[in-house]
Amino acid sequence: MLTIFRKIFTWWNRDTFGTSLYTIFFGKFVGKDSLGNKYYENKKGKRWVIYADEIDASKIPIEWYSWIHFTPNKIEKNHDLKKYNWQKPHKPNLTGTDQAYYPNKDKNVAKKKYNSWKN
């Protein structure tokens, strides 16, 4: 019951009930990326993504970023982009998570060069 309630009224967890209906009736499936996101387009040219997990725009890989933003290039025609061994895999924005980067993550790494006047 709670999952149905979430599906109808919340947009931040997954796609809503309205988005699901719109996708069923008007969406043409274009493809799926390595993260499990599904990409759709309607007859008028509107494009959208149904995310596999949590909704986060930084979870769109570069192969699909140009397609979703209507940027014409060679990647758009072939979504199976050849990856080189020196390329790192796509990672979403990790800001606000435990895996986020910030300098001096370990407090003992470097001493401060100043003393704060408030303790």
7 within 8 A of 14, measured Cβ to Cβ: yes
pLDDT of residue 42: 93
The verdict on residue 27 lying in a domain is yes
pLDDT of residue 15: 76
pLDDT of residue 38: 93
- Dihedral sign, CA of 66, 72, 76, 82? negative
The verdict on residue 18 lying in a domain is no
The verdict on residue 119 lying in a domain is no
Count of structural domains, the chain = 1
The verdict on residue 80 lying in a domain is yes
Domain holding 34, by residue range, is 23-85
pLDDT tens digits, the chain, 119 residues: what are they? Answer: 667 776 666 666 677 778 888 889 999 999 998 889 999 999 999 999 998 887 888 888 888 888 888 887 655 555 566 778 888 877 788 888 888 877 766 665 556 666 777 75
The verdict on residue 71 lying in a domain is yes
The verdict on residue 3 lying in a domain is no
The verdict on residue 16 lying in a domain is no
